[in-house]
């Protein structure tokens, strides 16, 4: 099939079953419920062939006006090499409406993202498996109804963007544990159903020890359950995750794309420094 026979349309509920089929073909763990959640938080586009089959997807999740993430980027194997991936990404960039962008890339997608102005900021390690029996750490408790605003404020400080809609969805679908210091929430972590089991995250903590305690609190009530945790390589908790039964099974490359004006300012700054060096 040629690219000219493909229509790019707004992603809607009617495309979810086709998207699930695409992600399963790529051995992604996403259930239909995971796609429903992603769609509820996002805008996106779907590539449709002449038979009405979904052959590509991409979603854009805005976090207020602070930034947006691009996710669920899939192109059917039969359509690769025709430039469809670039078309989907260009549509995603347009949907972001000038927001700074973030994504997690595969090695295969890296060249395209770099051409579109994304730069590498770190590595993401994916750990998953059947968790070992753990003792429940002390000093951690379930969140209370009145904690929601504090959770959102702490998350925004840590992530640098307003993820209120995401946190509302996590509260509705999962469980959240918190650590208090006096009347102040110092750290928190969520767990929710995902794929073969459950995923723990976000984990908002001031240090690795606290992050591990929060993960252990959730995991301790689920001995033998299949859990997943994604973490930045810089956190240093990967060896501990392996020790508790969550093996390193892959990951991705964290990338960001600054707004055009920021990129232009950076270019001018480099140019000015170069001129000073020449002078």
Question: Please, which pLDDT band fits residue 125 given cuts at 50, 70 and 90?
Answer: very high
How many residues are recorded in the chain? 279
What per-residue confidence (pLDDT) applies to 258? 87
Virtual torsion, Cα 177, 189, 29, 83, nearest 10 deg: 150
For residues 108-131, give the mean pLDDT.
Answer: 96
Mean pLDDT of the chain: 92
The three-state (H, E, C) secondary structure of 126-143, written as one string? EEEEECCCCCCCCCCEEC
Does residue 278 have a pLDDT over 50? Answer: no
Does residue 276 have a pLDDT over 70? Answer: no
For the chain, percent of residues with pLDDT exceeding 90: 87
What per-residue confidence (pLDDT) applies to 204? 97
What per-residue confidence (pLDDT) applies to 259? 72
Per DSSP (E only), the strands in 131-221 are 141-142, 175-181, 184-194, 197-204
Does residue 279 have a pLDDT over 50? Answer: no
For residues 173-179, give the mean pLDDT.
Answer: 98
Question: In terms of pTM, does the model score above 0.75?
Answer: yes
The distance in angstroms from the start CA to the end CA of the chain is: 57
pLDDT digit string, tens, across residues 1-42: 556 689 999 999 999 999 999 999 999 999 999 999 999 999
Question: Please, which pLDDT band fits residue 272 given cuts at 50, 70 and 90?
Answer: very low
What per-residue confidence (pLDDT) applies to 5? 84
pLDDT digit string, tens, across residues 57-97: 999 999 999 999 999 999 999 898 889 999 999 999 999 99
22 CB contacts (<8 Å, ≥6 apart)? 54, 55, 56, 57, 74, 76
What per-residue confidence (pLDDT) applies to 248? 97
190 CB contacts (<8 Å, ≥6 apart)? 167, 170, 174, 175, 176, 200, 201, 202
Give the DSSP letter string of 54-97.
Answer: EEEEEEEEEETTTEEEEEEEEE-GGGTTSSHHHHHHHHHHHHTT
Does residue 273 have a pLDDT over 70? Answer: no
d(CA 251, CA 94): 27
Question: Please, which pLDDT band fits residue 241 given cuts at 50, 70 and 90?
Answer: very high
């Amino acid at each position: 099939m040629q690219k000219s026979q493909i229509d790019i349309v707004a992603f809607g509920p009617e495309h979810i079953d086709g998207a699930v089929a695409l992600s399963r073909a790529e051995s992604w763990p996403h259930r239909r419920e995971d796609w429903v959640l992603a769609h509820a938080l996002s805008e996106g586009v779907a590539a449709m062939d002449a038979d009405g089959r979904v052959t590509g997807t991409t979603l854009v999740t805005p976090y207020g006006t602070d930034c947006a993430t691009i996710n669920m980027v899939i192109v059917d194997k039969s359509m690769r090499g025709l430039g469809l991936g670039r078309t989907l990404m260009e549509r995603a960039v347009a949907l972001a409406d000038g927001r700074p962008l973030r994504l997690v890339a595969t090695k295969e997608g890296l060249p395209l993202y770099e051409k579109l102005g994304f730069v590498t900021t770190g590595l993401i390690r994916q750990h998953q498996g059947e968790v070992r029996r753990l003792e429940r750490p002390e000093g951690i408790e379930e969140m209370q109804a009145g904690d929601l605003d504090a959770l959102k404020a702490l998350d925004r400080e840590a992530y640098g963007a307003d993820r209120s809609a995401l946190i509302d969805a996590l509260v509705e679908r999962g469980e959240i544990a918190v650590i208090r210091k006096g009347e102040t929430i110092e750290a928190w972590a969520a767990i929710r159903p995902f794929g073969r089991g459950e995923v723990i995250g976000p984990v908002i903590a001031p240090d690795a020890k606290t992050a591990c305690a929060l993960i252990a609190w959730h995991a301790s009530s689920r001995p033998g359950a299949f859990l997943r945790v994604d973490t930045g390589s810089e956190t240093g908790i990967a060896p501990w995750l392996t020790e508790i039964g969550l093996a390193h099974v892959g990951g991705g490359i964290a990338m960001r794309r600054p707004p055009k004006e920021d990129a232009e300012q950076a270019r001018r700054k480099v140019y000015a420094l170069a001129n000073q060096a020449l002078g």
